[in-house]
Amino acid sequence: MGAYTLRRILQMIPVVLGTTFLIYTLVWALPTDPFAGRCGERPCPQAYVQLMTEKFNLDDPLPWAYLQWLGGLFTGNLGETYTGLLVWDQVASAFPNTLKLATVAIMFEIVVGITAGVFAGLNRGRFIDNLVLLSTLALISIPVFVLGTTLQYLLGIQFPIFSPTVPPGAPWSSLILPGFVLGALSMAYVARLVRSSILENMRSDYVRTATAKGLARRRVIGLHVMRNSLIPVVTFIGADFGALMAGAIITEGIFNINGVGNLVYRGILNQEGALVTSVVTLFVLIFLVVNLIVDLLYGFLDPRIRYE
């Protein structure tokens, strides 16, 4: 297993290099001069444009500019944005907020999603099952910005239980509502996934065998059904963690969370190449690491999977 992990980590290197180069190329391949819109209806003074072009290596051939950026990356210098702020500072202030938000969302998925799924699966056709099916259907069909702005208005302004926006520093308590909104869709999927997984496993041979040999229902469900039902859920949640971090932009916007989603969005609008490439590289790394963790978790959950 150690060797497997090492191999996977080594495989990450070409993936990271390849993706960063692609992203870097795409960002810089945009045909427009990034300073064309910076002075409103006036063209910017040439003295400014030339100073910035020189400072940001915009005239260098692409591979060389990429290598300079990569060199900076390894020495911990991600460069500056055109606004004169260090990319690292911006990422460092935004990233923890998004990480916390995604964590809260995942917690909702795990706690609410799995619990609802288990109850529904074990009580097929009864009231609780229908309730779960109906409420998850509702969550799936409501777009996130509708859910977000509605809950924000209801619970932030009409009945001020929560703060409508997240204050700087994003304390955990302020992230409950945004976390729920961000995780709502996946929470519904998780509940349904768990439900169908449990239904399927309840009918499987090994459950019948376990019941036949006299195991307590509690133990049959707790040990055999649950463990096997969670495999697809782990995959889903693992992959979702990356998606939540990279895809929190709408939620971040509604609740005013200074997160990476909006950071990269603004970066794209302003053609901040160094910023976009750095943040996306971070996303790539997160996806890779989370995938590795999910794959390793399989080994624990499913005895049939063993890594040499």
Which residue, 13 or 47, is less far from another protein as judged by CB? 47
Q: What are phi and psi of 80, to 5 degrees?
A: -120, 155
Residue 146 lies near another protein (rule: CB under 8 A): no
Which residue, 132 or 182, is less far from another protein as judged by CB? 182
Which residue, 83 or 141, is less far from another protein as judged by CB? 83
Which of the ranges 19-27, 50-58, 131-139, 211-219 carries the binding residues for another protein, by CB under 8 A?
Answer: 50-58
Which residue, 68 or 83, is less far from another protein as judged by CB? 83
Distance from C-alpha of 64 to C-alpha of 18, rounded to nearest angstrom: 15
- CB 46 to another protein: min, Å: 4
**Which residue of 202, 263, 274, 290 would you call a contact of another protein, by CB under 8 A?**
263
Residue 52 lies near another protein (rule: CB under 8 A): yes
**Is 112 in contact with 103 (CB distance < 8 Å)?**
no
**Is 306 in contact with 299 (CB distance < 8 Å)?**
yes
Which residue, 14 or 40, is less far from another protein as judged by CB? 40
Count CB neighbours of 31 within 10 A. 4
**Which residue of 25, 70, 115, 156 would you call a contact of another protein, by CB under 8 A?**
156
Which residue, 66 or 162, is less far from another protein as judged by CB? 162
Residue 32 lies near another protein (rule: CB under 8 A): yes
Which of the ranges 49-57, 131-139, 202-210, 290-298 carries the binding residues for another protein, by CB under 8 A?
Answer: 49-57
Q: What are phi and psi of 159, to 5 degrees?
A: -120, 85
Residue 269 lies near another protein (rule: CB under 8 A): yes
**Which residue of 4, 21, 77, 164 would you call a contact of another protein, by CB under 8 A?**
164
Residue 174 lies near another protein (rule: CB under 8 A): no
Residues within window 188-227 making contact with another protein, judged by CB under 8 A: none
Residue 247 lies near another protein (rule: CB under 8 A): no
- CB 53 to another protein: min, Å: 10
Residue 154 lies near another protein (rule: CB under 8 A): no
String of contacts with another protein for each residue 69-108, x by CB under 8 A: -------------xxxx---xx--xx--------------
Dihedral, CA atoms, 121, 122, 126, 132, nearest 10 degrees? -40
Amino acid making up residue 93:
S
Residue 273 lies near another protein (rule: CB under 8 A): no
**Is 103 in contact with 290 (CB distance < 8 Å)?**
no
How many residues does this entry show for the chain?
308
**Which residue of 258, 277, 278, 281 would you call a contact of another protein, by CB under 8 A?**
258
Residues that bind another protein (CB under 8 A): 31-48, 50-52, 82-85, 89-90, 93-94, 149, 152-153, 156-157, 160, 163-165, 168, 252-258, 262-263, 266, 269, 271
